[in-house]
């Protein structure tokens, strides 16, 4: 699409933009805003600093991070998924 190509060229020519990979947990401002939106800005757990959000790459990446958390932190060993589901899950 011509408009996509035009935007890509514009972004490529803008040397003020950081084109490096994001940190491991993603863009902190994005994660904080998404967590606040999900829980509500007046959420008790958010105000007490007991909530955290991370940014992942794709749904598959989110599932992987979630599975690691459930296994390592909560020591869960069983995962249930729908049938059918995406093949890469």
Least Cα distance to 53 among 74, 73, 30, 21 occurs for 30
What are the extents of the domains in the chain? 2-55, 58-89
Residues 8-27: tens digit of each pLDDT: 999 999 999 887 888 888 89
Burial class (CB in 10 A: 0-12, 13-18, 19+), 26: middle
For 4, other C-beta atoms within 10 Å of its C-beta total 8
Q: How confident is the model at residue 89 (pLDDT cuts 50, 70, 90)?
A: low
pTM over the 0.85 mark: no
Report how far Cα 10 is from the mean position of its chain's Cα atoms.
26
Residues 39-79: tens digit of each pLDDT: 999 999 999 999 988 888 888 888 888 899 999 999 999 98
């Amino acid at each position: 699409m011509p408009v996509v190509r035009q935007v890509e060229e514009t972004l490529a020519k803008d040397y003020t933009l950081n084109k490096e990979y994001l940190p491991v947990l993603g863009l902190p401002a994005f994660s904080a805003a998404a967590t606040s939106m999900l829980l509500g800005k007046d959420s008790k757990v958010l105000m007490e600093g007991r909530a955290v959000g991370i940014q992942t790459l794709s749904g598959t990446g989110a599932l992987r991070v979630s599975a690691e958390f459930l296994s390592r932190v909560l020591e869960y060993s069983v995962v249930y998924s729908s049938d059918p589901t995406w093949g890469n899950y």
